[in-house]
Amino acid sequence: MSFSLKCLGAAGLASVFLVASTGAFAQAKKPAQPAPAQPAQPAQNQAAPAQMQPQGPVKIELVPTQNDWTKVCPDQATCSTMRDFSSQAGQPPVLELIVSEIKGQDARMRLLLPVGLMLPPGFRFYVDKGPTQSGTFQICFPNGCIAEASMKAATLDQLKKGSILSVVVKNQAAVEVTIDIPIAGFGRAFDGPAVDPKVFEEQQKKLQEELQKRAEEERKRLEAAKSGQAPPPAPPAAAPTPPPQ
């Protein structure tokens, strides 16, 4: 399935992006309670009005939704290594990471991120505790936004040997959100053989069917809960996609 059109369960992660600002907004809308009368104080001793402090940064740790990375080479000059991630095991993916290698060019990292982010600042990323680099948002769809960054050979080598890729973005309230993506095994897959494109397409089709089924079951459970009926048991977690052979 096309990277730009992949359907992610982005709503869950988008809500986490906004949670830091939600508390601040709720506090701002709360009616002020009248303060008890206090003896008059000299003006120089009166405390300045309390200023609302911005919410602190948010950190999100993702988990893979597939057993391993997938490498696909649509032609002899281009290969892409990718993996989907979720905020919780057994849940639909909320982010996709794909690294493409084109003969004669620098490698490119692409991220499919949820909507609800500030686009002009772009994003920053670093591997483990390595140097920070920057990338930009390219285009947004109703289900997510594509962000890209070019990677020199040294950065690609860090990615292949690293453990955590940290991506830093800002939400609509300008609160900084750091997303930690586990990248163990990426180097082995990137340098290894590619899966047959037809096999990969079939795997993606089955994954989408499973995600749609789970979404429908979850919708029915929520409707049953709202109507006061005993909701049916939650469906078991979907089995991870087997690694390509």
Instruction: Please give the share of the chain, as a percent, with pLDDT higher than 90.
Output: 46
Cβ within 8 Å of residue 124, ≥6 positions away: 132, 133, 134, 135, 167, 168
Q: How far apart are CA 65 and CA 240, in angstroms?
A: 6
Res. 90 pLDDT band, cuts 50 70 90 = confident
Instruction: Give the pLDDT band of residue 29 (cuts 50, 70, 90).
Output: very low
Residue 195: pLDDT over 90: no
Q: How far is CA 4 from the centre of its chain?
A: 14
Residue 25's pLDDT band, with cuts at 50, 70 and 90, is: very low
Report pLDDT digits (tens) over 199-212. Answer: 667 766 776 677 67
Is 186 in contact with 159 (CB distance < 8 Å)? yes
How does residue 149 score in pLDDT terms, banded at 50, 70 and 90?
A: very high
| Residue ranges of domains in the chain, CATH in brackets | 3-14+57-195 (2.60.40.1880)
Which pLDDT does position 206 carry in this prediction? 73
Enumerate residues 6+ apart whose C-beta is below 8 A from 164.
127, 128, 180, 181, 182, 183
**Whole-number average pLDDT of the chain:** 77
Checking if the pLDDT of 51 tops 50, the result is: no
Q: Which token pair is 184?
A: 């163990």
Q: Is the pLDDT of residue 191 over 80?
A: yes
Rounded distance between C-alpha atoms, residue 53 and residue 172, angstroms: 16
* Model confidence band, residue 236 (pLDDT cutoffs 50, 70, 90): low
- Element housing 108 (H / E): strand 107-113
Per-residue pLDDT averaged across 52-72, rounded? 84
